[in-house]
Amino acid sequence: MSNSKILIVDDDDNICQLLTLYLVKEGYGAEVCHNGKDAIKLIKETKFDLVLLDVMMPEMDGYMTLTEVRKFSNVPIIMVSAKGEPMDKISGLDYGADDYVTKPFEPQELLSRIKAVFRRAQVHAVAEKENNNADLKFGELYISIKNYIVKINDKPLDMPPKEIELLHCLASQPMQVFTREQLLQKVWSSDYQGDARTVDVHIKRIREKLGISKSWRLNTVWGVGYKFEIL
Q: Which tens digits make up the pLDDT trace of 144-163?
A: 988 899 999 999 999 998 99
pLDDT at 176: 85
pLDDT for 22-55, tens place per residue?
999 999 999 999 999 999 999 989 999 999 999 9
**Cα–Cα distance measured from residue 28 to residue 12, given in angstroms and rounded to the nearest whole number:** 20
Across all residues in the chain, what is the average pLDDT?
A: 86
Whether the Cβ atoms of residue 164 and residue 150 lie closer than 8 Å to each other: yes
Question: Looking at residue 228, what is its pLDDT?
Answer: 93
Q: Of 26-35, 71-80, 94-103, where does the model show the most confidence?
A: 26-35
Average pLDDT on 203-215 reads 93
Q: Roughly what angle, to the nearest 10 degrees, separates helices 197-210 and 86-94?
A: 50
When computed from its CA atoms, the radius of gyration of the chain, rounded to whole angstroms, is 18
- Pure H helices in the chain: 13-25, 36-45, 62-69, 86-94, 107-129, 161-171, 180-183, 197-210
For residue 74, pLDDT beyond 60:
yes
Comparing 46-55, 79-88, 121-130, 142-151, the range with the smallest average pLDDT is 121-130
Q: Is this structure's pTM higher than 0.85?
A: no
Q: Enumerate domains of the chain plus CATH numbers.
A: 5-129 (3.40.50.2300), 136-230 (1.10.10.10)
pLDDT reported for residue 125: 61
Q: Please report the pLDDT score of residue 129 as a whole number.
A: 54
pLDDT at 130: 52
Higher pLDDT, 190 or 37: 37
Q: Among 36, 65, 31, which Cα is nearest to 48's?
A: 31
